[in-house]
């Protein structure tokens, strides 16, 4: 191994073919945050990486930094498989959507243990023998938004600060990321803008950290509104639509 190679745990967020045999990879690494690097001959040589570069797999990678140009992936080994994810279309869809969320919401080259650990927790949850991928994804998104500074405000009106009663149904303005009480215009909300008290409780629980427990709390009837609220909030924050919506549909 080269002296200058930097070792770290990593997750593959995206892989794009480049040239005749290379691949450009976007990795979420524990040491360096989100980084792009080039995997030379990754498509041509089976010995080079041996099919290791797969999503939903914890990797141990060696990256050679460069003074100019893109870093080079020197080696990659599998640290942990999550085989059940690829056995279900629902799990795969939720997994790819989560990877896109991480890719779009994570800052370049800023290490964040909270984001990395959250990603590993989601993969483990999706790999469990029994799981609800759709509920896990919604609650994962709420937690990720909170970690990166876009936590939804689900307990009070963002205009007048009037607090919603526990269990109260309320309008959520996803573009602004907060509730709107009746006096501030919340009474004119459409059906998909309304969150039940149970949905608000689950999403608040998720954003505070316990997203798996929150997913178990989230009722099936509340999933469409919760999904719309979190996804619309995310897209307003990043300024574009997410490609994973088409896959989920």
pLDDT digits (tens, 9 = 90+) for 110-142: 999 999 999 999 999 999 999 999 999 999 999
- The C-alpha atoms of residue 163 and residue 160 are separated, in whole angstroms, by 9
CA-based angle 235:204:236, to the nearest 5?
10
Question: What ranges make up the beta strands (E) of 134-235?
Answer: 153-157, 170-173, 178-180, 194-195
CA distance 111 to 123: 19
Question: What dihedral angle (degrees, nearest 10) is formed by the CA atoms of 49, 93, 170, 155?
Answer: -20
pLDDT per residue over 149-195, tens digit each?
999 999 999 999 999 998 999 999 998 999 999 898 876 656 778 99
Q: What is the pLDDT of residues 225-245, one digit of tens each?
A: 999 999 999 999 999 888 876
142 and 63 share one domain: no
How many domains are contained in the chain? 2
Residues 127 and 69 in one domain: no
Residues 103 and 41 in one domain: no
Please check whether residues 56 and 172 belong to one and the same domain: no
**149 falls within a domain:** yes
Q: Does residue 205 lie within any of the structural domains?
A: yes
Residues 108 and 207 in one domain: yes
Q: Where are the alpha helices (DSSP H) in 109-165?
A: 113-126, 133-147
Q: Could you tell me which residue, 205 or 65, shows the higher pLDDT?
A: 205
What's the domain range around 160? 83-248
Domain of 152, CATH number, reads 1.20.1440.120
pLDDT at 55: 93
The residue among 154 and 67 whose pLDDT is bigger is 154
167 and 216 assigned to the same domain? yes
- List strands edge to edge, sheet with 194-195: 153-157, 178-180, 170-173, 194-195
Judgement on whether residues 102 and 210 belong to the same structural domain of the protein = yes
Indicate the SS3 state at residue 47.
helix
Residue 1 lies in a domain: no
The model scores a pTM over 0.95: no
Q: Which of 77, 79, 87, 84 is nearest to 52 (CA)?
A: 77
Domain endpoint, select from 80, 106, 124 = 80
pLDDT at 246: 56
**Average pLDDT over the chain, rounded to an integer:** 91
| pLDDT value at 43 more than 90 | no
Asked whether residue 26 carries a pLDDT value surpassing 80, the answer given is yes
69 pLDDT exceeds 50? yes
72 and 98 both lie in a single domain: no
Q: What percent of the chain has pLDDT over 70?
A: 93
Q: Which CATH number belongs to the domain containing residue 73 in this structure? A: 2.40.50.140
């Amino acid at each position: 191994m080269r002296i200058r190679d930097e070792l770290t745990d990593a997750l593959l967020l995206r892989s794009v073919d480049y040239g005749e045999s290379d691949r450009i990879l976007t990795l979420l690494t524990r040491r360096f945050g989100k980084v792009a690097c080039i995997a030379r001959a990754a498509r041509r040589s089976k010995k080079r990486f041996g099919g290791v570069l797969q999503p939903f797999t914890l990797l141990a990678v060696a990256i050679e930094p460069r003074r100019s140009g893109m870093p080079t992936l020197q080696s990659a080994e599998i640290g942990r498989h999550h085989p059940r994810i690829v056995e279900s279309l629902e799990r795969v869809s939720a997994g790819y959507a989560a990877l896109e969320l991480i890719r779009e919401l994570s800052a370049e080259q800023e290490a964040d243990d909270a984001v990395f650990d959250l990603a590993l927790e989601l993969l483990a949850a999706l790999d469990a023998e029994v799981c609800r991928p759709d509920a896990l994804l919604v609650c994962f998104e709420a937690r990720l938004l909170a970690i990166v500074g876009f936590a939804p405000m689900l307990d009070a009106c963002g205009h007048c600060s009037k607090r919603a009663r526990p269990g109260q149904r309320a309008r959520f303005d996803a573009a602004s990321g907060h509730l709107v009480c009746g006096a501030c215009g919340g009474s004119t909300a459409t059906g998909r803008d309304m969150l039940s008290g149970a949905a608000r409780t689950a999403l608040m629980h998720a954003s505070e950290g316990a997203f798996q427990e929150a997913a178990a709390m989230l009722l099936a009837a509340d999933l469409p509104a919760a999904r719309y609220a979190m996804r619309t909030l995310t897209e307003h924050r990043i300024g574009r639509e997410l490609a994973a919506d088409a896959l989920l549909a």
